[in-house]
Amino acid sequence: MNNQLIVLSGPSGVGKGTIVNKLLKKGGFALSVSCTTRQMRTGEEDGKSYFFITKEKFESLIKEGGFLEYSNHFGNYYGTPAKFVKDRLKTHDVVLEIDVDGALQIKKAYPRAVLIMILPPNEETLRTRLKGRGTESDERIEERIKRYNYELSKRQCYDFAVINGDLDKAVAEIENIIKEIKESKHD
């Protein structure tokens, strides 16, 4: 099996979701679906948006080693189910969009995972993108910039960094990284 687990991380507003969607449309990739104990929101689908499970089931899976990584945010668990990812890896490269802390947990649990940090060209571009969304207060934008600086401090833990200044170039660069990794494993 030469399929790869590709973990994409980066600050809010950098375009991770858009990159993931472009990769999925090109084919050959499967998206990892996380588990959560939070309630399903309008428009979400079990098994597509998340696997919505009970707190008891989640904690049972933790004890069984059923997650590549997990965390608790605001009283709800979120985690990457190991079996789901391993099953998808049998037939596809698997893309996982996750924060840096989760990515580092995954690297420990699955050392073959390829960690790619998606970065903006600079902090000002990120700030402009966040403001352009029109969904965040100035205070919340500043919180996200602080988080960006924390994430940037973890860059050396990643296998690659891709700057998303031009979406198509960033997607092509990620595809090339994956291709090179697969070719190097054949040597």
**Torsion, Cα of 46, 52, 57, 61 (10° steps):** 80
Structure tokens given for 37: 């104990």
What token pair was written down for 56?
């008891």
Total residue length of the chain: 187
Q: Where are the alpha helices (DSSP H) in the chain?
A: 16-26, 55-63, 82-89, 100-109, 123-133, 138-153, 167-186
Q: Give the model's pLDDT for residue 19.
A: 95
| Secondary structure (3-state) at 152 | helix
pLDDT at 187: 53
Rounded to the nearest 10°, the torsion over CA 39, 97, 49, 71 is: -20
Contact 119, 173 (CB under 8 A): no
Average the pLDDT over 10-18 and give the result.
89
Q: Model's pTM, two decimal places?
A: 0.87
Both tokens assigned to 167: 């979406």
Q: What is the pLDDT of residue 186?
A: 61
Question: Tell me, what's the pLDDT at 66?
Answer: 96
pLDDT digits (tens, 9 = 90+) for 152-161: 999 999 999 9
User: What's the pLDDT score for residue 55?
Assistant: 97
Q: Is the pLDDT of residue 89 over 90?
A: yes
The answer to whether 46 and 110 have CB atoms below 8 angstroms apart is no
Is 70 exceeded by the pLDDT of residue 1?
no
